[in-house]
Amino acid sequence: MDGLTEHDIARLASSAQLYLDDNTRAQFTREINKILEYVQVLEKVDTEGVAPTRHATDRLNVFREDIPQTPLPVEEVFKNSPLDDGSFFLVPRIIDGEENS
Amino acid sequence: MSALWYQKTAKEIRDAVHTGEATALDIVNSFIAHREATDGTIGAFTQCWDDEARETARSIDEKRQQGQPLGPLAGVPVSLKESFCTRLGKTTGASRILENFQCPYDGTAVTRLAQADAVFLGKVNMDELAMGSSTESSVLQRTVNPWNHDRVPGGSSGGSAASVAMGCSALSLGSDTGSSIRQPASFSGCVGVKPTYGRISRFGIIGLAPSLDHAGPLTRTVEDAALALNVLCGEDPADSTSSDKPVPDFLQGLSQDIKGLKIGVAEEYMTDEVDEEVRGKITEALDCLSSLGAELVKISLPGTAYDAAAYTVISTAEISATLARLDGVRYGMRDPEARTVQDMYVMSKSAGFGPEVQRRILLGTHFLSGKNIQNCFVKAQQARSLIIREFEEVFTQCDVIAGPTTPSVAFPFGSKSDNPVEMYRCDRFTLGANLATHPALSVPCGMTEAGLPVGLQLQARRYDEETLLRVAFHYEQNRGFDLGFPPIS
Amino acid sequence: MQYEAVIGMEVHVEINCKSKVFCGCPTVFDAPPNSQTCPLCLGMPGGLPVLNRSMVDKSMAVGLALNCRIARETRMDRKNYFYPDLAKNYQISQDDQPLCYDGYLDVDVDGEMKRIGITRAHMEEDTARNSHTVGGGQSGVDFNRSGVALLEIVTEPDIRSAQEAFAYLTALKQLLQYLDVSDCNMEEGSLRAEANISVRPVGSDKFGTKTEVKNVASFSGVQKAIEFEIARQIKVLNDGGTVLQETRGWDADKGVTLSQRLKESAQEYRYFPEPDVPPIVVDDAWIDAIQKSLPELPTARKERFQKEYELSAYDAHVMTLSRAMADYYEAIVKAGADPKKAANWLMVELLALLADAKVEISDSPVSPENLAALIGLIDTNVINGKIAKEVLVEMFKTGAAPAAIVEEKGLGQISDTSALEEAVQAVIEANPQQVADYRAGKDKIFGYFVGQVMKATRGKGNPQLVNEILRRELDS
Ligand SMILES: [Zn+2]
């Protein structure tokens, strides 16, 4: 693992929707590189042919039956909303096609 | 006498309420008065629900008067970590981004406590979104170590540990992703249990790293922890990862002696990096267990060398996704100046998350990007498999592993908060149980010369909380000291 | 240069579970905005997903019907991206282990069978719906759709023309409706199709740069959009330009595709296993049970209709267009009607009435039993075919049984020999010239006498009897 540059950190911040000012970016770059250096110990672990642990649970096939439940009352739905019109959550105008899916 | 109810254990309190020796209201009032006298200094409580607590207490007393059956935690005053979802009050996660969040539902652990007739006194402080080991990253307030106000209470469940150690709640609900119940229990001088993954539902806990998150109780005694686990454990249809294994009566399991049990002592837990005084207290504790008829066996856990690295990769990766939902669209903080969707996200998150949270999100995003998924994330999951295997192997040689909870005692404020690597490394004895999902606890095993508590960590096989609690209980009964309460300043 | 198109389709189809895929919220279409939501599908802290068993069953049924292999061990994954319609800012989906993979669908393209490879079909949750009509420079978000069960079906790049794409979508919709797993309503958004389109010189085995065409509201729209896009790409190349990798939206009014977003590099979704949902393990017994529960699928049913009912390929095709149609048809036959007559009456007469009234066959006011009874009345000479059509119109209006209508309106056929003999006699007497011509060998005017008798009996004369008596009287 090579170290990350401030540019890399800025790119990660943009993926994570974070804004970093110059000082923070410089500080995070230092700190994160320190952590990455420390994480490098993993490279020495022989994991050849070892199956990854993807789930912590030992359960399999846990399902619910297809039975509708009572939804939240509308006043509860909007209780914490920063901006709504009583029907919709409002956000700054979404430009068609900028979606990612 | 009634003024001193706060000094009683949860079990004593519920017995007194059941028999009518005391009313729940008297008990709750005693705790509230004690909190009023002490918490101004300690700073554990972030929300006080005095009126509601008295209301609940009254209804419990009424129930008893009418001859109705009372729950196993009748009248026991409980505090909840800020990360537990409740309809009552706010659920902030000690973060700016959820500062005013009023959750529309109660989580399962909270519901189970309420059904057992526990009384909620309020919520207690934590590191922001449970990231930290000192409760310093909370945006709400500062919580101090009840034994030394210049030192941290531990974290992330620092408020829980401080409130229990101080006698301001008989039981506190905490959560533990890497150390967050056991480390503050060790620093502040109380019992903290992280049961097996899946024993306690995670439904209604502000999630962090779902494959590592555990809920658990902090109490003053092992017996109280067993009592709380009896109520908290069990399958929950709202959490697909909750265990469907039968839950034994943990209280009943305490009594049998520990003769012949094998206690594993790992060399990796007793190196020079562990404070000499801490090592001394652990050695005394091991001697005590040995004198009770347990057999000490040497074991080896070489995975301890890399479990912090595996933990860092897995936990931050999961964090980066789990916390993405905190975006200011449906709830939470939003800057009204945001003119575009992108601005809305960036402004909410940048102002809403503190530096520790941001740093971990960036790290996790890095570990999931491009080739790092294979080279870091999957590699860490493979390392996790090796750690699981190692513990399975060790648990064929012993029944319980004993060692220090942390390499050193509570540190002064500000001493580690700017050194994330050091902070992560402090957790290195506790991370194994989160990665391998087996139960572990911390129980006080003495005080340093400077008057700071030391914690003994015990770990047991998956789903074998019974043996874990039994060893802790017999140790506690025979350790030869009473921790008592911190002096009221 | 000659170009050929290379097209792959991605279809998102909402599976008709009664509750959402990871929470118990109801899934009624058109409920008031945000009235079918809960902490989980609003992405609140502490919510945990619990997988709807019915979604797995129905997805597996689709996979089996698409001749897919079913993953024995699979899981859900988190697909990470930020968008206001995504409650958690990650979508629970499936990455490298889809539930169904490696299948195909045989599609009828102008009478020729074409096999379209199915790469995968995977389970995921739908996103919320954005509304741009709230005004004030803002968009509204309705989370009713957030978390609705969604199956994404992806084909191999096997499709070579807009017509094939249309045929594929038609066959897929037919299959999904047969399986009763979705209402496949494109206008309501329960079925959404995207096409990945590229062109390359004929004979080349390399793929050209592809564009992704979205926002199409109908199958014919998809066909038009693909036609346009193929022509556009060929023109770009012929003009010496290069096709850009981008997402293009279909503007149905202008009939053009428009660039929406350049894909400079592959979007990074940072997929990783969803820790909140335990792994899914599928055994033989589960697959067998789903296989056994599958209804007879369109192709098999069509073949059976040809064999069992001796229908022509075309008739069998029409009779199996939808499961409802095929079920209706078989109900007529089961009620005793001759299979060929049943097909005729259904195709020619009833479908026309249904089309005029814009009524689905499943809501037909004429029950299959009544249609069979109508055919029976013809077979037993109670009414003739012409009257039967009138009776059917009446049945369609009132839903009444044919016998009751015939009775009430006195439409019964005259099979009384003496009454018909009288009518024949009257016609012969009234047309001496024609009788003379006929008897002189002008055979062709026999039909004229038949017509006159039918006119005199107001169409109710039993045609066979009328023929017999006329011949007897004229030839004597
Ligand atoms: Zn919901």
Kindly list the residues from chain A whose CB atom is less than 8 angstroms away from the CB atom of residue C83.
99-101
C320: nearest Cα among C338, C296, C344: C296
CA B386 – CA B307 distance, rounded (Å): 10
Asked if the Cβ–Cβ distance from B381 to A52 is below 8 Å, we say yes
Determine the pLDDT at residue B106: 98
Taking the mean position of all CA atoms in its chain, how far away is CA C283? Answer: 32
| ipTM above threshold 0.95 | yes
B358/B121 Cα distance (integer angstroms): 32
In angstroms, what is the span from residue C92 Cα to ligand 1's centroid? 14
* Contact status of B347 with chain A (Cβ, < 8 Å): yes
Question: What angle do the packed helices C385-398 and C368-379 form, to 10 degrees?
Answer: 160
**From CA B377, how far away is CA B364, in angstroms rounded?**
9
Candidates C39, C50, C275; nearest CB to A64: C50
Count Cβ neighbours within 10 Å for each residue of C46-71 and write b for 16 or more, e otherwise: bbbbbbbebbbbbbbbbbbbbebebb
Confirm or reject contact between C46 and chain A (CB < 8 A).
Answer: no
Within 8 A of A62 by CB-CB distance, chain C residues are 50-51, 277-278
Kindly state the tokens that stand for C47. 């919510």
pTM across the whole model: 0.92
Q: Decide if B88 touches A, using CB distance below 8 A.
A: no
Dihedral angle sign, alpha carbons of residues C390, C394, C399, C401: negative
| Tokens linked to B20 | 């009518």
Alpha carbons B366 and B376: distance in angstroms, whole number:
9
Chains that touch A (3 or more CB pairs under 8 A): B, C
User: Does any CB of chain C come closer than 8 Å to the CB of residue B487?
Assistant: no
Chain C nearest CA to B58, separation (Å) = 30
The pLDDT score that the predictor gives to residue C265 is: 56
Q: Is A2 exposed, middle or buried (0-12, 13-18, 19+ CB in 10 A)?
A: exposed
- The torsion of the CA quartet B204, B207, B212, B217, rounded to 10 degrees, works out to -50
Please state whether beta strands B262-266 and C256-262 pair in parallel, antiparallel, or not at all (unpaired): unpaired
Residue C305, token pair as written in the block: 């209709």
Q: Is the dihedral of CA B239, B243, B245, B248 positive or negative?
A: negative
CA distance C54 to chain A (A): 6
Maximum Cα–Cα distance for chain A, whole Å?
57
Instruction: State whether residue B19 sits within 8 Å of chain C by CB.
Output: no
The alpha-carbon gap from A23 to the nearest alpha carbon of chain C, in Å, equals 26
- Across the interface, do C80 and B321 touch by the CB < 8 Å criterion? yes
Contact C297, C65 (CB under 8 A): yes
Kind of pairing between the strands at C73-74 and C280-281: antiparallel
Q: How far apart are CA B210 and CA B203, in angstroms?
A: 11
Measured between its terminal Cα atoms, the distance across chain C in Å is: 78
The active-site residue out of B156, B157, B242, B442 is B156
Tokens of B354: 């503190």
According to the CATH classification, is domain B5-301+392-478 in 3.90.1300.10?
yes
| Annotation says B156 is catalytic | yes
* For ion ligand 1, residues whose CB falls within 5 Å: C 23, 25, 38, 40-41
pLDDT at A12: 96
Which chain A residue has its CA at the smallest distance from B104's CA?
A: A76
Give how far B149 is from chain C: nearest CA, Å.
33
Q: What is the pLDDT of residue C263?
A: 63
Whether residue B417 lies in the annotated active site: no
CB C166 within 8 A of CB C136: no
DSSP 8-state assignment for residue C9: E
Query: Measured on CA atoms in the order B135, B140, B144, B150, is the torsion positive or negative?
Result: positive
CB contact under 8 A, A93 and C138: yes
Query: How far is ligand 1, taken at its centre, from the CA of residue C42, in Å?
Result: 7
Q: How many CB pairs under 8 A join B and C?
A: 98
pLDDT (0 to 100) of residue C264 = 54
- What pLDDT was estimated at residue B55? 98
Residue ranges of chain C with per-residue pLDDT less than 50: none
Q: Is B428 left (phi over 0), alpha (psi -120 to 50) or beta?
A: alpha
C92's CB contacts (< 8 A; 6+ apart) are C21, C22, C49, C76, C77, C78, C79, C124, C125, C274, C277
Which domains does chain C possess? 3-286 (no CATH), 296-409 (no CATH), 417-475 (1.10.10.410)
For residue C89, report the distance from its CA to the centre of ligand 1, in Å: 15
Closest Cα of chain C to A43: distance in Å?
A: 20
Which amino acid, residue B432?
A: G
- Tens-binned pLDDT, residue by residue, of chain B (489 aa): 444 899 999 999 999 999 999 999 999 999 999 999 999 999 999 999 999 999 999 999 999 999 999 999 999 999 999 999 999 999 999 999 999 999 999 999 999 999 999 999 999 999 999 999 999 999 999 999 999 999 999 999 999 999 999 999 999 999 999 999 999 999 999 999 999 999 999 999 999 999 999 999 999 999 999 999 999 999 999 999 999 999 999 999 999 999 999 999 999 999 999 999 999 999 999 999 999 999 999 999 999 999 999 999 999 999 999 999 999 999 999 998 999 999 999 999 999 999 999 999 999 999 999 999 999 999 999 999 999 999 999 999 999 999 999 999 999 999 876 677 776 778 889 999 999 999 999 999 999 999 999 999 999 999 999 999 999 999 999 999 999 999 987
Is some CB atom of chain A closer than 8 A to the CB atom of B107? no
